[in-house]
Amino acid sequence: MTHSPETPEVPIRPYRVTAAEVVPGDLLALTREDATRHRWYVVTHTLPEAPEVIRFTLRPPLGGVDREETLRREQRVTVAGRRLDVAAVPRVSSPALDGVEFRDGDRLHRLRAVDPTATEVTYVRRWGSWHLDSDEPGDAVTDTEVRRWAVEADREGDIVAHEPRPVRAAEAAGARRVVVTGLGAVTPLGVGTGELWQGLLEGRHGIRELTDEEFDGLPVRIAGTVPVDPAELLPRQAARRMNRAAQFAVLAAREAWADAGYAEGGTRGSGLDPERVGVSLGAILGDASVLVGGDRRLREKGPRGVSPLTTPMTVPSQAASQVSLDLHITGEARTVTSACASGTEAIGQAVDRIRYGRVDVALAGGAEAVVTPAIMASFAAMRALAEGDPATGSPSHPFAKGRDGFVNGEGAGVLVLESEEHARARGARIYCEAAGWGLSADAHHVAAPDPSGDGIALALRRAVRDAGGQVADVVHVNAHATATVDGDLAEARALRGVLGRRDVPVTALKGHLGHLQGAAGGVEAVAAVLTLHHGLVPPTVGCAEVDDAIDLDVVRGAPRPLPPVGDLVLSNSFGFGGHNAVLALRRVA
């Protein structure tokens, strides 16, 4: 849009001459004030009009329209001390923008062409106004102001160019926009997204004492457990062939499928091509109790006591396979295992599968059921588990002073993702855009996070960049915040480093739910979608007093309205071994 790359950088060394001494190629300032304000023109042509008068044709040095000036020969002017190749200075005009319909995502390029040292400034239209394409904060510019710039550009010696956001047809090559159309959840707050959302807004928690005999003697006996038996909500024959995590996943997937407006019976009942639908679920172990139970029966009853379903019900991929069976999905059934980042990474991978045309619809999220004696004992041995009485409040204290560890939990969260074209063609209700995601690895320790937060910050920036946004677009963060001393602090450092001094409202849900392991990213993504949809940020339960070292705007006490300016919500998940995953969701107008 701007000037020729052949246009050189010109050192400005002003001195005074008469008009008669000026020749084509000179950089000319008509007045001393113009020179002070860096308002220069290239002399492209001179023509004597009379013995004492010369007509000059002038053009901004970085390109623009010509203007004519008539000067007396003895008139004093300022030149810059260096000549330009006139042929290298383009003649361009800024088009009027009065009839142009602006859309969010459009770009505007503005160059002060009369200043040889100027650099082009780019604005991006977001939230109905124009913002500098930079992480630096700046005042928003209205559409009216942008149109005025275009009208005045030629007269003021500016160049203004409008770059519309690309519009892709459904069949066009390249990345497609992905949207969220359905939600499902099974959590310690109950079965269904309604129970989840109401519990979050009311500040309730679902952490309970483990009263089964098998937990006797453990140093910690509290966990975030689902309050109903999922097997009782499914046909008996089907439930017997699923492990507990798969039961959670199927229930959440069925809810999300119906919430998206699809018919009971999966792809068959909905008239969808099953090859264009996929499943992408995260899990660390899935259901650890199956393998433990099989080993116990082997020791008690011998080989004949071990069920032939032990192996297929043990693998972490059982949840994804059971969802694909239940809804007759044949496009793909993927399982992601990346510690506690599994659910978020599974959603991100599904976003890419839709973006690039592998499938049109995907059920994505996570499912986990690892509240077992051995897992609880292992976490306790690591000194990672919190203790406390659930009857007196949540034992999980994310971001709080005196936090002492996480609470193990279970559940499932599933999103229905679709290409925007697919969703709009069927008239679907759209919650928000699944705009982008980011991954990174700490490469620091087998269990502990990198205290610098650098790996987390990289994932945050990558998610924002993948969403085509700027850090200034972020209006809310659903934090991972497990309530471990080092983990919360590393995440807070990363968020403050990326967000700068802006007070972006942050919430952490593990005080409500406990840490749902591989399902955490799925359930927290469901909550982040609902936050965008309802415009409310749930409070952080269990954080009576924020640790001074956290230095974040932690939402506590009561829900808070989502800030009106900005459109990105980030949902964070970080796991043992340095797995970092961040999902970026965008508000849809």
pLDDT at 82: 77
Beta bridge partners of 535: none
pLDDT, tens digit, 9 for 90 and up, residues 326-336: 999 999 999 99
Instruction: Check residues 307 and 457 and name the one with the higher pLDDT.
Output: 457
Give the pLDDT band of residue 119 (cuts 50, 70, 90): very high
Q: Is 294 helix (H, G, I), strand (E, B) or coil?
A: helix
Active site residue 432: no
| Distance, CA of 49 to chain centre | 64
Instruction: Check residues 350 and 289 and name the one with the higher pLDDT.
Output: 350
CATH number of 186-587: 3.40.47.10
User: What predicted TM-score, i.e. pTM, was given to this entire model?
Assistant: 0.80
Third-level CATH fold of 15-84 = SH3 type barrels. (2.30.30)
Mean pLDDT score of the chain: 93
For residues 306, 310, 311, 316, the Cα torsion angle rounded to the nearest 10 degrees is -150
pLDDT, tens digit, 9 for 90 and up, residues 497-520: 999 988 999 999 999 999 999 999
Identify the active-site residue in 340, 476, 512, 533. 340
pLDDT at 172: 42
Angle 318-327/244-259 helices, nearest 10 degrees? 40
pLDDT at 170: 44
Gap between the Cα atoms of 419 and 355, Å rounded:
7
Residue 360's closest CA among 435, 413, 421? 421
Active site residue 512: no
Give the pLDDT band of residue 162 (cuts 50, 70, 90): very high
pLDDT at residue 171 is higher than 60: no
Q: Average pLDDT in the 171-177 region?
A: 67
Q: Average pLDDT in the 96-116 region?
A: 93
Gap between the Cα atoms of 56 and 21, Å rounded:
12
pLDDT at 289: 80
pLDDT at 174: 62
Q: Average pLDDT in the 144-165 region?
A: 95
pLDDT at 1: 46
Q: Where are the domains of the chain?
A: 15-84, 106-163, 186-587
In this structure, the chain runs to a length of 589
pLDDT at residue 166 is higher than 80: no
Q: Out of 136-140, 173-177, 526-530, give the one with best mean pLDDT.
A: 526-530
Q: Average pLDDT in the 409-415 region?
A: 98
pLDDT at residue 77 is higher than 50: yes
pLDDT at 9: 60
pLDDT at 312: 77
Backbone angles phi, psi at 433, to 5 degrees: -95, 135
Beta bridge partners of 369: 287, 410
Active site residue 340: yes
pLDDT at residue 310 is higher than 90: no
Q: Is 68 helix (H, G, I), strand (E, B) or coil?
A: strand
Question: Which of 61-75, 188-202, 278-292, 426-440 shows the lowest mean pLDDT across its residues?
Answer: 278-292
DSSP string spanning 25-66? TEEEESSHHHHHTT--EEEEEEEEEETTEEEEEEE-TTSB--
pLDDT at residue 278 is higher than 50: yes
Give the pLDDT band of residue 192 (cuts 50, 70, 90): very high
* Token pair of 254 as six digits: 């069925």
pLDDT at residue 203 is higher than 90: yes
Gap between the Cα atoms of 496 and 458, Å rounded:
13
Residue 225's closest CA among 183, 191, 249? 191
Longest dimension (CA), the chain: 119
pLDDT, tens digit, 9 for 90 and up, residues 536-564: 999 999 999 999 999 999 999 999 999 99
Q: Which amino acid is at 532?
A: L
- Residue 562 CB neighbours (<10 A): 18
pLDDT at 18: 95
Identify the active-site residue in 480, 512, 533, 579. 480
pLDDT at residue 2 is higher than 60: no
Identify the active-site residue in 3, 515, 533, 579. 515
CA–CA distance from 78 to each of 65, 69, 73, 82, 155 (Å)?
A: 21, 14, 14, 12, 21
530: region left, alpha or beta (phi > 0 left; psi from -120 to 50 alpha)? alpha
pLDDT at residue 227 is higher than 80: yes
DSSP secondary-structure letter at 176?
P
Residue 69's closest CA among 78, 57, 61? 57
Residue 528's closest CA among 579, 582, 487, 468? 582
Residue 320 burial (10 A CB sphere; 0-12, 13-18, 19+): buried
Provide the percentage of residues in the chain whose pLDDT is more than 70: 97
Gap between the Cα atoms of 110 and 160, Å rounded:
5
